[in-house]
């Protein structure tokens, strides 16, 4: 492409609602334009990136044996009533009515439609397993569309659905998709992790999310340095500390702690570490009672774990200060387990403390030297907290680290949820009806583009990984208008690189070099060649990789080979 023929102007200012860097850069560089809340148009350069991601996904899905189809975006309500999701799905589901007053939805996902295809087309177990996929628009009426195409309302998903005669075949199909996803995100040049998403149980393979690692990610993910264990923070189990509890050595003592309402206040007033204090959180019980959850002062409550406890209200609800006052006679800020008239559940780490500090259930006082089994009964324990960096991995190998991630893909064993509800059956070996097993596998194609930018950018702009860059090579001729020689060489190189498939972008605009360099950096084109009179005298050009800080010489003759080699080097893995 020639920039002189490209009408989209870079934005100098981005709207205030663009909070994250990918959204800002995509708007500045003119990759996308907003139509209305959560709805974006893909402009020429942006679309080139999107198509590259699509192409990689399509190739790997085909290689894994999946069959591409295309299903309508608009789906009849009857199918959603059959699956039960017409009621279940809630306001993210866009419901529409046609001129005959028939109800439809704009598909947020396609399990119903593909299950309908399967029950019509698949008759015998001999036709299984099969995997149908598509690359199609979805609409989800997100409550807070934000971050541009990262969480939009309309977006493009690659969604695949597999059908199997038994669970072993489903496991195999799931594993294939897992491997295909590994290849897809590796080929996109991204640094990513597959994390357990359904349960923290080790080796649980019912559902995994693929996360692109980026500081701005919405999700906290936990991974081990000892093996490939990775899980959502919400689900990673915290093991009981090894070694048990030390013996009690201090007497239970009430101390005045005026105005100490938080653990941080206690730490300064009493000079004890937060890890020697406990926090007592009162939540609603399932039977209209109250339950006290006790965790260490330096730990955070994990709501997902807490609400799964028997007898605790799900979803988790903190008890109101009024209820705590009337039913427990305590004030939030000075609650402690000693003498508290309600059921206690104590996190493993808090239960392993001796001589700890807690609220005294009396405003302005705390107790020190608290000990389980002496001042309090032996505790009922559970895993109630988020893991922290340095905790042992639940697999027993290595310690845990925490990173932030952007969910770009999700693979899921559905089992018979949809096939049973919608009667997707085939004849088994004995001609008896068999309800098929299903898996579903999604990739947010549009989100991948934004996530790639979140992971790869600097002050000046985007740094595309080679495999998804809109153009591989930027040609910057100096003195375009004045130097006929530069123009001739630039035109020749442009044609040569184009013919060699190196996807050149020629900046043939009548603009200052500074403007051309800045725009090239904003667009994130990985390889830049500058063509100047002086270099041509010596038969050389100037080369620089988007990540490099210095120029190198590149040969005028043999430039294609030179660039091929550079592209090969920078494509061999994520930076
Ligand atoms: P999230 O938790 O981010 O809302 P989800 O769990 O609802 O995602 P899935 O139903 O698993 O997402 O959809 C598959 C993929 O589609 C996700 O992994 C993500 O990459 C993408 N995706 C989901 N919602 C959006 C959205 N609003 N905008 C862009 N991509 C999305
Ligand atoms: Mg969602």
Question: pLDDT by residue (tens digit) across 409-425?
Answer: 999 999 999 999 999 99
pTM for the full predicted model: 0.87
Confidence of residue 570 (pLDDT cuts 50, 70, 90): confident
Per-residue pLDDT, averaged over 234-262, amounts to 92
Q: 321 is written with which tokens?
A: 């200060």
Residue 575 pLDDT exceeds 70: no
- CA 537 to ligand 2 centroid distance, Å: 58
Q: Which ligand is nearest to the CA of 159?
A: 1
pLDDT of residue 198: 64
Pick the range with the lowest mean pLDDT from 186-200, 329-343, 439-453: 186-200
- pLDDT tens digit sequence for 223-238: 999 998 999 998 899 9
Instruction: List the beta strands (DSSP E) in 200-252.
Output: 207-213, 219-224, 230-232
Q: What is the rounded CA–CA span in Å between residue 575 and residue 572?
A: 9
- pLDDT tens digit sequence for 429-488: 999 999 999 999 999 999 999 999 999 999 999 999 999 999 999 999 999 989 999 999
The helix (run of H) or strand (run of E) holding residue 528 is strand 527-531
pLDDT of residue 200: 41
Q: List all residues whose CB is within 6 A of at least one atom of ligand 1.
A: 109, 140, 142, 151-152, 155, 157, 407-410, 442, 444, 446-447
Residue 201 pLDDT exceeds 50: no
Q: Going by CA atoms, what residue is nearest to atom 4 of ligand 1?
A: 151
pLDDT of residue 572: 66
pLDDT of residue 399: 95
pLDDT of residue 199: 46
Q: Going by CA atoms, what residue is nearest to atom 14 of ligand 1?
A: 442
Q: 64 is written with which tokens?
A: 């894994």
- pLDDT tens digit sequence for 359-375: 999 999 999 999 999 99
Q: What is the rounded CA–CA span in Å between residue 410 and residue 439?
A: 11
- pLDDT tens digit sequence for 509-525: 999 999 999 999 999 99
Per-residue pLDDT, averaged over 520-544, amounts to 96
User: Could you identify the residue written with the tokens 């200052």?
Assistant: 512
Residue 377 pLDDT exceeds 60: yes
- CA 459 to ligand 1 centroid distance, Å: 28
Handedness of CA 397, 398, 402, 408 (dihedral sign): negative
Residue 45 pLDDT exceeds 50: yes
Contact 238, 383 (CB under 8 A): yes
Per-residue pLDDT, averaged over 566-575, amounts to 74
- CA 307 to ligand 1 centroid distance, Å: 24
In the sheet that holds 473-477, the strands lie side by side as 504-506, 473-477, 527-531, 540-545, 552-555
Helix (H, G, I), strand (E, B) or coil at 36: strand
Per-residue pLDDT, averaged over 64-80, amounts to 98
Residue 166 pLDDT exceeds 90: yes
């Amino acid at each position: 492409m020639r920039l002189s023929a490209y009408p989209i102007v870079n934005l100098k200012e981005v709207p205030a609602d663009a909070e994250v860097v990918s959204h800002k850069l995509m708007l500045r560089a003119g990759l996308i334009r907003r139509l209305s809340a959560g709805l974006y148009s893909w402009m020429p350069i942006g679309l080139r990136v999107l198509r590259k991601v699509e192409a990689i996904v399509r190739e790997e899905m085909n290689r894994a044996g999946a069959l591409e189809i295309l299903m309508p975006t608009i789906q009849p309500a009857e199918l959603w009533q059959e699956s039960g999701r017409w009621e279940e799905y809630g306001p993210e589901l866009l419901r529409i009515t046609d001129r005959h007053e028939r109800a439809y939805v704009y598909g947020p996902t396609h399990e119903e439609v593909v299950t309908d295809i399967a029950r019509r087309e698949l008759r015998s177990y001999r036709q299984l397993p099969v995997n149908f996929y598509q690359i199609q628009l979805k609409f989800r009426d997100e409550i807070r569309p934000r971050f541009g195409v990262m969480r939009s309302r309309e977006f493009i998903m690659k969604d695949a659905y597999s059908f199997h005669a038994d669970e072993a075949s489903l496991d195999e199909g799931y594993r294939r998709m897992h491997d295909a996803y590994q290849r897809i995100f590796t080929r996109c040049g991204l640094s990513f992790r597959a994390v357990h998403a359904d349960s923290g149980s080790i080796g649980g393979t019912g559902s995994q999310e693929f996360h692109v690692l980026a500081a701005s990610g919405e999700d906290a993910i936990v991974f081990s340095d000892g093996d490939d264990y990775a899980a959502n923070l919400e689900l990673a189990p915290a093991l009981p500390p090894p070694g048990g509890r030390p013996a009690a050595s201090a007497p239970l003592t009430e101390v005045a702690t005026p105005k100490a309402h938080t653990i941080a206040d206690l730490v300064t007033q009493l000079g004890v570490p937060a890890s020697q204090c406990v926090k007592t959180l009162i939540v609603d019980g399932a039977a209209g009672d109250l339950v006290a959850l006790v965790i260490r002062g330096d730990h955070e409550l994990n709501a997902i774990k807490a609400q799964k406890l028997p007898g605790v209200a799900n979803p988790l609800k903190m008890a109101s200060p009024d209820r705590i006052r009337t039913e427990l006679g305590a004030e939030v800020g000075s609650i402690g387990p000693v003498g508290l008239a309600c059921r206690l559940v104590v996190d493993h780490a808090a239960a392993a403390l001796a001589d700890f500090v807690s609220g005294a259930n009396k405003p302005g006082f705390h107790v020190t030297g608290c000990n389980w089994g002496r001042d309090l009964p032996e505790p009922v324990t559970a895993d109630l907290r988020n893991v922290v960096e340095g905790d042992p991995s639940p697999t027993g190998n290595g310690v845990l680290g925490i990173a932030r991630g952007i969910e770009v893909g999700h693979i899921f064993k559905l089992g018979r949820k949809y096939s049973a509800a919608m009667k997707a059956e085939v004849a088994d070996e004995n001609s008896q009806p068999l309800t098929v097993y299903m898996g579903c596998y999604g990739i947010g194609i549009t989100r991948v583009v934004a996530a790639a930018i979140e992971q790869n950018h600097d002050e000046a702009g985007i740094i595309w990984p080679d495999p998804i860059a809109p153009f591989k090579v930027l040609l910057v001729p100096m003195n375009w208008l004045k130097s006929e020689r530069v123009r001739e060489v630039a035109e020749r190189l442009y044609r040569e690189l184009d013919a060699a498939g190196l996807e050149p972008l020629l900046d043939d605009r009548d603009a200052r070099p500074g403007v051309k360099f800045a725009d090239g950096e904003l667009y994130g084109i990985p390889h830049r060649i500058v063509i100047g009179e002086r270099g041509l005298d010596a038969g050389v050009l100037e080369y620089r990789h988007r990540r490099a800080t210095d120029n190198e010489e590149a040969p005028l003759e043999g430039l294609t080979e030179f660039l091929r080699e550079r592209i090969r080097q920078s494509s061999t893995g994520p930076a």
